[in-house]
Amino acid sequence: MMQTNVAAIVLAGVALALCAGHGRADEDAAGRAPPTPEERRASAESIFKNLDKNRDLRLVGDELPAAAWLDRFDRDGDDEITKKEMLEIVDRGPGYDRLFVTRDPRARANNALAQFDQDKDGKVAKAEYPGDERTFEKADRNRDGFLERRELLRMAHDEIDDLRKRARSPGKYEFLGLFDLNGDRQVVQQEYDGPARTFRRLDENGDGVVDYYEIYPDRRPMEREEAPPQPEDITAQRALDTDEDGRVSRAEFKGTDAAWRRLDRNGDGWITAADAR
């Protein structure tokens, strides 16, 4: 079990708050501005330096003040946090300073385990897995009929690698599926890590945001309409996506197995907006 003391626990709470950009809640109430990006980064660097006892630019084992740090900063899921990983998360700023299932293997593996592990025994049986059998068997490396966390993490690494390859040359109609991290049907600069020229081309009004109607201008509502109608695919996905992670799991899907296989085109156990195109 990870060794901690009272000072480390306090430091962990303060550090997470500062790195998230919410470390001055009391000062904000007094009328002071929240920390700037430069202040957040400086705080994170100072905290990292204090925790990194052997100065190897990584936090591991007893250097970690709390297990929650791995879920927040360990981007590659190797149970250690490098300085680069921590600063990449901090630099995203409030609202994006956390791991996302379309970018980070640890978040993706944790989410898959939470979605698929119906009996909550810490692993996914073949009967619980909603994807195709070949995908399951490929991921089940020890051939024990279960996907344990390390196997889900390995699968997540492969899926993230594929997403990152696609993100280097994104198609217009998969743009939101690749870059809309928080599921609000638009992509802002904090979310985007693809080629700059693609963002500029799709950002028609140059406001630094690529929204749904810049991708699908023919679906833009008429100015006289009081409320814009939502496309059926987006409406259906949102209705089924009960945990609001931007995709639909087999447990959330209410249709038949045949319908599921038809919609889950890549057999990864999820239905996303990209599958519906």
Domains of the chain: residue spans and CATH:
6-92 (1.10.238)
Lowest mean pLDDT among 28-42, 49-63, 149-163, 224-238: 224-238
Query: What are the tens digits of pLDDT across the range 15-27?
Result: 555 454 444 444 4
Rounded to the nearest 10 degrees, what angle do helices 105-116 and 149-168 cross at?
130
Which of the pair, 80 or 227, is modelled with greater confidence? 80
The pLDDT confidence band at residue 77, using thresholds 50, 70 and 90, is: confident
So what's the pLDDT on residue 97? 84
Task: Read off the pLDDT of each residue in 121-141 and give the average, rounded to a whole number.
Answer: 93
So what's the pLDDT on residue 148? 95
Closest CA to 78 of 111, 45, 109, 47: 109
So what's the pLDDT on residue 137? 95
Query: What are the tens digits of pLDDT across the range 78-124?
Result: 899 999 999 999 988 888 888 899 899 999 999 999 999 999 999 99
Looking at this protein, which amino acid is placed at residue 85?
E
Task: Read off the pLDDT of each residue in 25-35 and give the average, rounded to a whole number.
Answer: 60
So what's the pLDDT on residue 190? 87
Rounded distance, CA 167 to CA 178, Å?
6
Looking at this protein, which amino acid is placed at residue 201?
R
